[in-house]
Amino acid sequence: MPDHFLALDWGTTNLRAHVADATGRSLLRRDFALGVAGLAPGEAARRFAEEVRPALAAEGLPALLCGMIGSTLGWQAVPYLDCPASLADLAGALCRIDQPGPPVWIVPGLRAQRPGDGGPDVMRGEEVQIFGWAMADPARQRGSHLVCHPGTHAKWVRLVDNRIERFVTAMTGELFAVLRTHSALRVADAVESESAFAAGLAAAGDGGALAARLFTARSRVVGGDLPAQSAESYLSGLLIGAEVAATPGLLGVAPGADIALIGDPALCARYERALAAHGHATTAHDGEAAVLAGLAALYRELFPC
Amino acid sequence: MPDHFLALDWGTTNLRAHVADATGRSLLRRDFALGVAGLAPGEAARRFAEEVRPALAAEGLPALLCGMIGSTLGWQAVPYLDCPASLADLAGALCRIDQPGPPVWIVPGLRAQRPGDGGPDVMRGEEVQIFGWAMADPARQRGSHLVCHPGTHAKWVRLVDNRIERFVTAMTGELFAVLRTHSALRVADAVESESAFAAGLAAAGDGGALAARLFTARSRVVGGDLPAQSAESYLSGLLIGAEVAATPGLLGVAPGADIALIGDPALCARYERALAAHGHATTAHDGEAAVLAGLAALYRELFPC
């Protein structure tokens, strides 16, 4: 196999590309404002060939792509793989783009049935992070682990003996974004406030009646016990507090279980505070390193030594 | 007292005006696209004098105004009256605008502490509807009643011996609006679907973990078990189902209690379905008639015979 490959995390809003070796070490990294949400049909292949490869001087290298690039809005729609699924299952379901030149593979997303009658849930990209996270420590590859990946669409994932067994998506980040931008909870001149965040966490209670609790981010301002500029921090606490109070239960996770957080450090820190209030011990892990480790592991599955 | 008065329900998006008699009978009605959200500072007084009065040929009549017109964005900020509050309390706290000519009063809104540490909640306008609703039947003026006023900011109100004791606002309608317009749950070509609404109601469960349940309006579409055009009806069922499952409990209302719905008939019908699934018997009542009856009752308090 070639010594190096192109490792691409190609998501909704951004494309992060590395030239990496088979151990997952990055030799070169470039970001591109080529999020899937902004791509016209057919555009992904062209921009990849004309911009991404040249920018990384990676003309001859095979490429592994994960994330929303495998959705109907991306380069090519790659069917979801059903859970439970291991890294080897994922490697076996890679989709090779039908084109001349060095091979390009897209990692399929995962689909899992939610507990009860919750219907299907889906992810694209986080599965690579989670397997990459597990690569770093043999203890993570045995037994049951709960991983939370905060973000626009936060993922809560149960990994059992290194297979993704089930997961649930909470659209907390998107709720925060649309409410702070488009709703009566919108405030001008928001200032971050630790104490308002804590008040929001407390107001989340057991996570129930969220539409009613959300209104307190407004009524506390007009009713006189929350400064308007702190309402956004309060809203953040309320939404994250409601998520962490109720989502682990959907996965059958016991109160107080250990939880691994993978993602943006500032956002992970907020989740740590919220989870601590519910008695969960947490560890925080870098998402970018996890993607790279996961893509490298898939690359080694493709080209076993 | 003059035989007739101007009865105005002046809300965020619309102004509905009646010439009414002291019994609440409407002699003339006109709607104006003069919602408080679109008013510049000082504009309310001018538009009222130059457009509303002339259009209703009501030059000499006293006027009673309720709704968001009493907020900081309206004609004049009128302080909230604290609960518990009766119609007589409301009449005693009417704010008369300081200007020459026939009198103009604005009805104050109400403020109540939520149960537990929920902070203050507020309303402007619904209090008049609720007292008006109670006017129509002496049985409503005795004992305890739960009234739900669905809408952008739905109000759940406990009326005890004809006093508004406490209430909770759920921003269900606004969540629906921002999610269908600005989020990943947005769909083109939505078509109303009874069965998708019912599936959304079922998916709401006990109302907890809402951010996680909301994502099913997307994952069921991409996962293949919900047609995209039905996702909006599903979302409506999910949001209303979550609201009715959890909000009455915040007011200490027993499961299965009778609930009076006041508002738009189509929306009330959705709430009736959702509440029936939780064992609540409901009655539906016209909001416009209730406002008029409430304003007339306040007018009679101002000018007792």
* Phi-psi domain of A62 (left: phi exceeds 0; alpha: psi -120 through 50; beta: other): beta
Query: Who among A169, A206, A215 is closest to B215 (CB)?
Result: A169
Q: Which of B122, B183, B206, B215 to mutate to test the interface with A (most CBs of A within 10 A)?
A: B215
* Phi-psi domain of B224 (left: phi exceeds 0; alpha: psi -120 through 50; beta: other): left
Residue A35 near chain B (CB below 8 Å) = no
State the Cα–Cα distance between residues B173 and B179, nearest whole angstrom. Answer: 10
Confidence of residue B165 (pLDDT cuts 50, 70, 90): very high
Segment A76-111, tens digit of pLDDT: 999 999 999 999 999 999 999 999 999 999 999 999
State the Cα–Cα distance between residues B258 and B276, nearest whole angstrom. Answer: 10
Residue with tokens 């969960």: A280
Residue A79 near chain B (CB below 8 Å) = no
Q: Can the peptide bond before residue B265 be classed as cis, meaning omega within 30 degrees of 0?
A: no
122-141 in chain B: CB under 8 A from chain A: 122
Q: What is the pLDDT of residue B252?
A: 85
163-192 in chain B: CB under 8 A from chain A: 168-172, 174-175, 178-179, 181-184
Q: Which of B174, B186, B235, B243 to mutate to test the interface with A (most CBs of A within 10 A)?
A: B174
| CA-based nearest residue in chain A for residue B243 | A209
Chain B residues in contact with A178 by the CB 8 A cut-off are 178-179, 182-183
**Number of neighbours of residue B250 by Cβ within 10 angstroms:** 22
Beta-carbon pairs below 8 A across chains A and B:
168
Determine, for residues B211 and A182 on separate chains, whether the beta-carbon distance falls below 8 Å: no
- In this structure, are residues B136 and B262 in contact, taking their beta carbons and an 8 Å threshold? no
Determine, for residues B120 and A214 on separate chains, whether the beta-carbon distance falls below 8 Å: no
Segment B97-146, tens digit of pLDDT: 999 999 999 999 999 999 877 899 999 999 999 999 999 999 999 999 99
Compute the mean pLDDT over every residue in chain A, rounded to the nearest whole number: 95
Query: What distance in Å separates residue A115's CA from the closest CA in chain B?
Result: 11
Give the list of residues 6+ apart from residue B6 with CB closer than 8 angstroms, or none.
Answer: B17, B18, B19, B20, B52, B53, B56, B58, B61, B62, B63, B64
Compute the mean pLDDT over every residue in chain B, rounded to the nearest whole number: 95
Query: What distance in Å separates residue A242's CA from the closest CA in chain B?
Result: 7
94-113 in chain B: CB under 8 A from chain A: 111
- The Cβ-side half-sphere exposure at A115, using a 13 Å CA radius, reads 16
Segment A210-223, tens digit of pLDDT: 999 999 999 999 98
Residue A117 near chain B (CB below 8 Å) = yes
Closest CA to A67 of A52, A78, A51: A78
Determine, for residues B122 and A219 on separate chains, whether the beta-carbon distance falls below 8 Å: yes
10-residue mean pLDDT profile of chain A (305 residues): values are: 93 96 96 95 95 94 97 95 98 96 96 88 97 96 96 96 97 97 93 97 93 96 93 98 93 87 96 96 95 97 82
- Report the percent of chain A where pLDDT is more than 70: 100
ipTM computed for the complex: 0.93
Q: What is the pLDDT of residue B305?
A: 66
Segment A223-251, tens digit of pLDDT: 888 999 999 999 999 999 999 999 998 89
Determine, for residues B117 and A223 on separate chains, whether the beta-carbon distance falls below 8 Å: no
* Helix and strand element counts for chain B (H, E): 11, 15
Phi–psi pair at B244, nearest 5 degrees: -75, -20
